[in-house]
Structure 1
């Protein structure tokens, strides 16, 4: 039978990408971590890592063992959390994932209030435009900018995200405000760089709006992040189509051509059935749903 302590060290090393970083997390020496990994490889008779100057790369067998160890680690965390949640006050870690744009603006600006309400919960936010797999325990809950593809997941619609055209006040002062769709041709535009995530399928609508498919507008700047597009618009580079959540509180940006109807998408709070009775998930869900109801742009 495999030694769980060695597996725990292996799991940390695989997540960290190096023995040095794993040693810092575990409070061990780098040489002790290396010895434990070597001992585990000897027990298995297999190599788990390819070692090189830039860090550790899992072998195929190492990948398989890491997935198993990751599930075991998550399940142990859930047992510990369930034991702590037998108390009236929810406590323990909560891993939340969402997109970089949404997480770095709308979500992050509201987390402080949640922590004041529930100081016993430790929030970790993983911002990733590539979706983490909740079924594989890569996160506890997710805020998705589309209806979840996995039908077994518990989901709660939060709100519709609307897009509008924005430019900085300084840009408008220098170049004027477009009066209609055709007038966009006389302005610089900012687009999302390739590849465009599927949930943002129409984010570059400004390139195509009112133009033949064979002759789209050419962007002055392309940025492969919504937050980066907002900062480029704020800096006066040009006009960008942005979701309203990313410009919340931005007094340097002005909406242009506000009467044009633009693509919108739905936002959902999602978590796996295994966590339906989790107090941490429940209070966080209720908090986010409440904030979504308050949010009116």
Structure 2
């Protein structure tokens, strides 16, 4: 029998294409990935990966092993999900992935309340903008601003996150909309819905600066750098920001919750899901209808 840990490390190398990238993904060092890969090749007595100077390339045998190993991986994770779902009520660890802005400015404020309500459930929260795989146990529950499409997931819309225009109360052009200068995202985010909305509202008015993350937008707005489109719940935490009326359309992002179908009835996972539903519904800066 093959060592599953060796196969798990091989799968990471095959997907990412570098030893260093696989090491970061698995949260181990470069040497561990290299050692595990060599151990698997010794077990199968076949070269699976060509180690090039800047990348790793699968050999024909490696490609076939990769295809077969993905089935082994899914079965291994299915066993984990089955065992997790069989745990005693309200005990265990639950991994939650959510957009960084929801983690840093919303979820962390409720962790104490969750801990008091469920002391036997350990909640591990990851602020992650990318789409995680629930099938590969990259998370147990995922919150996303785009409707998840993983076939094995059960999804539910929690509500909507409204955006508005904001500026610092001492912004030089606060009361002169024609002179507003906008804080927007950089070109890498040109297809993001809030960037499209913001550019339509700007409608040719000057761009003050481009910042790649929403927390940077908040800080720049607080500093008086210009006008930004911010989630209402985020802007409301800052007393020196003022919401600005505008002629453009209103805008919001849907908040979706996804869980693997094998875990949706697990008591400790269910406790986290119910808690997320509750705190979103109770926040007046989110919309839960429609």
Name the structure 2 match of 1:191: 184
Per-residue CA deviations over 1:118-151 (Å, capped at 9, x if unaligned) read 2333333333323223344432211122444457
Asked if 2 retains the 8 angstrom alpha-carbon contact of 1:208 and 1:217, the reply is no
CA 1:280/1:48 → structure 2, altered by over 3 Å: closer, same or farther?
A: farther
Q: Structure 2 vs 1, CA of residues 190 and 8 (structure 1 numbering), >3 Å: closer, same or farther?
A: closer
Contact 1:191 1:204 in 2 (8 A): no
Q: CA deviation at 1:109?
A: 2.3
| Pairs aligned (count) | 277
Q: 1:13 to 1:124 in 2, by over 3 A?
A: farther
Aligned partners of 2:127 and 2:50: how far apart in 1?
27
Shift of 1:292: 1.2
Is the contact between residue 100 and residue 127 of structure 2 (CA under 8 Å) also seen in structure 1?
yes
Which ranges of 4 or more aligned residues in structure 1 deviate by more than 4 Å? 8-19, 29-36, 62-70, 258-261
2:268 is matched with: 280
Change (3 A) 1:125 1:49: farther
Where does structure 2 lack aligned partners over 5 or more consecutive residues?
A: 286-290
Shift of the 248–65 alpha-carbon distance from structure 1 to 2, 3 Å rule, reads: farther
| Separation in structure 2 between the aligned mates of residue 290 and residue 191 of structure 1, nearest angstrom | 32
Q: Is 1:91 paired with 2:84?
A: no
Unaligned runs of 5+ in 1: none
Partner of 1:262: 250
Distance 1:150 1:41, change over 3 A: closer
| 1:241 corresponds to 2:242 | no
RMSD over aligned CA atoms reads: 3.7
